[in-house]
Structure 1
Amino acid sequence: MFAARERLAGENTDPRGAQRRVLADLLGFNASTEFGREHGFGRVRTMDDFRTAVPVRDYAAHAPLIERTAAGERNLLSADAPAVYFTSSGTTGAHKRIPVTPRFMRTTFMPFYFAAWAPLIEHFPEVLEGPGAVLNLKHDPLSAPPTTADGRPHVGASQVDFGARFGEPLSAEPGTGAPWAALPARTEPGDHLERAYLRLRLAVQSDVRALVGINPAMIAAVPYQLNLWWPRIVKEVRDGTLGGVPHGAPDPGRAAGLERLAEYFGTVRPAHVWPRMRALFCWATGVASLYLPALREEFGAGVTVLPAPVAASEGPVGVALDRHASAGSLVASASVYEFVPADLDLAPDCATLLPHELEIGHDYHVIFSHVGGLYRYAVGDVVRVVDRVGGVPRVEYAGRGGRSDAVGERLRDAQAVRALRTALDSGGLALRNVACRVEPAADGAPRSPGSPGSPRPSRPSRYVFAIAPRTPWSAAEAARFTAALDGSLAAESGGYARARASGRLGPPAVRLLDAEAFDRDWHEAVATGIRPTQVKDRLFRQDDGLWGRLTGTPGG
């Protein structure tokens, strides 16, 4: 881990050179592929040549060759045959098939992957004191994973044994050797909640020092799960059972201690169960940035949140080489990176910026190309440049690249999150989670018969924010927050400000939910069979069914 970090830090002293080497490698290695021949890789020498030869492409543009590869054809996108296909971790649409080749793993994935763990191990070495010191929430191996037509597994990255599949025996993540890593109790493949329960049931008998979640929504669910399942957990600890089946020796002493925690505190928190907790490892930006400060306190005083890498199933973007709270250095030796200002639309021929052309404090769409067979790939994420270290930009995840655009406001995730933070800070408020949607314009009610004047004007479209407060808000606090949010949204987004000024958008509304609304919503989503890693915080929720499930209003 430390060696990988030192290697990446050393490469950051010459990022332009690293980018030229990555481009030359992917062109040379894949020149004879069907894609390479069609796009003249053999004639490409410079980045400008590459931009001219290959348009900016999304998954749909890559999909025909990916599907042919998954059906058994070879030498289409990469000269290397895929060993596995990563599934996307997105929350909309069908799961993608991301071909993962051995060459990609060696040159692109593994260096950043090993380096990502270095800050945790360096500053909290106690997480390696025993196999049960880390509760790794994302580790969920499958005994019989689904496969593509060519017989390759189609799974999440957390479900792949890198040692067995790619010859990387040192790649086991912290926590993957814990007693709950390979569950002894049988569960149905889609029963993710039961597996989460079984792991938590076993973990309460261990001295857990850190949680690994990557997806922060998984960590946010733990306090809720402890209390939801508490009576069952205590009974099984006392009886020595796991999922109702004998497992280990009964532990009445630990069970009695757990009962005393509940009697004394009322609400049991992770800090009570694991008093020596030190660190949480997950994404720390986006919507999570609004609730992580308060959530962290539930795991104990002084607990540190270390940011997981800025990455997607398709490849890495940034990795923290130190204890920065949210950002990581661009992995210049992993992919060829291009960027487009986030307020612009992506198009096949759009102009792009290179890493050295980025400005601090600005948001950008991410486009990358790597030897695994993705070329000028628009991953759909937006990053914000925090600063520069060692010659490369340090970036944090800012949100998805899509926009909420009901009446031309073109509001982005990152803009809404920053506006929410400003409005919260203005009133000293905190929340557990938040989502929003555009409520369409409503026709005005006619005046009573015989009354003078024209019918009442219609109400324009407006944003409705569903918020679960950290502690109850008074009516006056909610009103002040709503007014502050309106101003903050206008300050962040020129499109929103123009829509408000023209009357196309009305003032926002706030709907306060109970404290556990988002926890229940998360559990209900997982109960449908979606893997917990894929049930992420979603700010914009225009789907009536999902909104209704969250707010308890069927039909939206």
Structure 2
Amino acid sequence: MRPTDTAPRAQSDQDAAWRTRLVAAKDRFAAALPDAAARQRRILAEILTDNADTAFGREHGFARLRTIDDYRAAVPLRTHQEYRPWLTRSAAGEARVLTAEPPRLFFTTSGSTGDRKRVPVTESFVRRVYLPFFQAAMGVPAQYHPDAFGRGAVTLNLRHDRLARPALSDSGRPSLGPSQADLRGGFGVDLEEPGSRAPWAELPVALDDQAYLDKLYVRVRTAVEHDVRSVIGHNPTMIAMLPELIAQWWPRLIEDIRDGTCLGVPGGTPAPARAAELERRAGGRPTPAAIWPHLSLLYCWTSGVASLYLPRLKDAYGPSVTVLPTPPAASEGPVGVPVDQHPSAGPLAVSCVLYEFVDASRDVAPDSPTLLHDELEEGRDYHVVLSHLGGLYRYVLGDLAHVVDHVDGVPRVEYAGRATLSDTVGERLREPHVVRALREASRVAGIGVANVTCRPENGPGRPHHTLVVAADQPLPPTRLPAFQDLVDKELCRVSHDYRHVRSTGALGAARVVPVAASAFTEHWHHRLAAGMRPPEIKDQVFQHDPVAWARLRDHGRHSTHTEKRPE
């Protein structure tokens, strides 16, 4: 169809209107920042009023609470495990447990750090919390990269995976990830994912919902025939894995494109000229940059472990590609929303969620003193505590936020890592310590890091931490002792507790085990085979699975991986 035809022009106009709405939502969010304190008070009042007549509200006396201090005194801080009884009752169908409104569905978390969690989703939550956050969060790419960001074939959204048959809670309500839900159809709100109208948004061949790798292959196979200009992962592991998967799949991709098939069965129009053009462009080294020469935007989390490996992906995606951060958030609720082209962070979503914080140097207890948004200090890490209309009250998220600076008096935060603690002899290492130490050590040593995982080990000798590090280039044995020393010195610098136990001799020096990047590629495939969806497979700074640890640590000595590709 020619560019002057009516259908493409109408779609272009609709996408322009869609982007305009996203930019307007971002601007409304930014305009509310100077009024943050009043917004936070209003959210508390709405929580107490709207959900007073619920099992949780009655048990904690919502009707008599007025101030944040009243609220703190009445409601203890709770982790998911401590919150589980109320969530379980709600999922079983009991009415008015956490919210006066009945949940329409449940968001499930990835379960990457434990059991999957189910979070109730009411209409008020969608309209007053999730929708304003979701739209504002996409305002920056919509404003600064309009030609690369749309609902059609310009955007390959690796996060979006609408399900034909979602799992059900005990009460028969859908239970699925936010990226799998049709919130637009289910709630009648203006909520469309980028890339949701691309040809690959609906699979051209019938596949089981749980055929995760095949579904991903078919989406990429279809996208390869189009002029993709942006790739969305949210989880940056997907952005890192795509070049690896394309290389693994390349012969099958070319065959399917040439023959008009998907996984060897009819699913498209034969395109031998496109197949020949792609082979010519790739020249034996297929990359996203070779396939999509106009690719200009990657959209994913950029902090945490991703800050180590995203720079190395420039070669695979193209030297001119821009990486913009998706907002720090979780299935349980939003944390920050970028309002400009800051490379990693956005101000707190103060118009959507009531926030409290606990200093990351402390463990969180039910009665831990908390800080409000205007009490946070730049350069520090904090445990995030959420309260919102969706039925979470003083909920300890389990994520750490790092305060970068302030925007109109509101802390601008980036995701720092999970709050998981590694504490063998009092070293109290958290994920941000490991990432920051390795980032600085690798910079000084001139080593590009593709990924890392860490685990305390007990012998021989004193306990110590071992880091399995995948570098861009093989690390010669002659350079390893100096690099290990750098890593250990940086851990001492970034963590007071680590420095203390090292000085007493209770903890040995950190050790580094260099492995090929393929070790982490294989680990990704193992986790996929265990039942995780691709968007759910996140980087693991601390490796708690002894089998996975042994496989990663010993990679190269006795690898058992068989390359995974659609047959």
Report if TM-score (shorter chain) is over 0.5. yes
Aligned to 2:421: 403
Q: 1:218 to 1:363 in 2, by over 3 A?
A: same
Pick aligned residue for 1:510 from 509, 512, 518: 512
- 2:450 equivalent to 1:432: yes
Distance 2:271 2:515 in 1: 39
Amino acid of the structure 1 residue aligned with 2:499: A
Aligned to 2:65: 44
Q: Secondary structure at the match of 2:478?
A: helix
Pick aligned residue for 2:261 from 241, 250, 260: 241
Aligned to 1:57: 78
Q: Which runs of 5+ in 1 are unaligned?
A: 443-458
Structure 1 position 260, deviation (Å): 2.0
Aligned to 1:533: 535
Q: 1:130 to 1:355 in 2, by over 3 A?
A: closer
- 2:206 equivalent to 1:206: no
Distance 2:534 2:316 in 1: 21
Aligned to 2:365: 347
Structure 1 position 158, deviation (Å): 0.3
Pick aligned residue for 2:353 from 319, 322, 335: 335
State how 1:32-431 maps to structure 2 within 5 Å.
32-128=53-149, 131-168=152-189, 170-262=190-282, 264=283, 266-431=284-449
Amino acid of the structure 2 residue aligned with 1:478: L
Q: Contact 2:141/2:149 (CA < 8 Å) preserved in 1? A: no
Q: Let me know the Cα RMSD of the aligned residues.
A: 1.5
Aligned to 1:483: 485
Amino acid of the structure 1 residue aligned with 2:536: Q
Amino acid of the structure 2 residue aligned with 1:310: P
Aligned to 1:448: none
Question: Which whole-Å deviations, capped at 9, do the CAs of 1:483-540 have from their partners, x for residues lacking one?
Answer: 1111000011111112212222211211111132211211221122211121100011
Amino acid of the structure 1 residue aligned with 2:498: Y
Distance 1:510 1:523 in 2: 24
Question: Which whole-Å deviations, capped at 9, do the CAs of 1:87-142 have from their partners, x for residues lacking one?
Answer: 01241322111101111111111101001111111111112567111110011111
Q: 1:129 to 1:96 in 2, by over 3 A?
A: closer
Q: Secondary structure at the match of 2:138?
A: helix
Amino acid of the structure 1 residue aligned with 2:241: A
Structure 1 position 166, deviation (Å): 1.2
Deviates more, 1:357-366 or 1:121-130: 121-130
Amino acid of the structure 1 residue aligned with 2:367: D
Aligned to 1:15: 36
Structure 1 position 361, deviation (Å): 0.4
Distance 1:509 1:537 in 2: 20
Q: Secondary structure at the match of 2:43?
A: helix
Question: Which whole-Å deviations, capped at 9, do the CAs of 1:225-281 have from their partners, x for residues lacking one?
Answer: 01101000001111110111112221111111222234x3x3222111111001111
Q: Contact 2:26/2:140 (CA < 8 Å) preserved in 1? A: no
Runs of 4+ aligned structure 1 residues displaced above 3 Å come to 551-555
Distance 2:540 2:150 in 1: 36
Identity of aligned residues (%): 47
Distance 1:468 1:504 in 2: 28
Amino acid of the structure 2 residue aligned with 1:113: F
Distance 1:66 1:515 in 2: 40
Structure 1 position 549, deviation (Å): 2.9
Question: Which whole-Å deviations, capped at 9, do the CAs of 1:379-432 have from their partners, x for residues lacking one?
Answer: 000000000001211000001112111111100100111101110111111111
Q: Contact 2:151/2:193 (CA < 8 Å) preserved in 1? A: no
Distance 1:66 1:44 in 2: 23
Distance 1:316 1:221 in 2: 26
Distance 2:331 2:381 in 1: 21
Q: Contact 1:271/1:277 (CA < 8 Å) preserved in 2? A: yes
Distance 2:413 2:97 in 1: 32
Structure 1 position 196, deviation (Å): 1.1
Q: 1:238 to 1:463 in 2, by over 3 A?
A: same
Aligned to 1:451: none
Q: Secondary structure at the match of 1:8?
A: helix
Question: Which whole-Å deviations, capped at 9, do the CAs of 1:140-164 have from their partners, x for residues lacking one?
Answer: 1111111112221000000011111
Q: 1:95 to 1:408 in 2, by over 3 A?
A: same
Q: Contact 1:145/1:153 (CA < 8 Å) preserved in 2? A: yes
Q: Contact 2:164/2:209 (CA < 8 Å) preserved in 1? A: no
Amino acid of the structure 1 residue aligned with 2:221: R
Q: Contact 1:427/1:477 (CA < 8 Å) preserved in 2? A: no
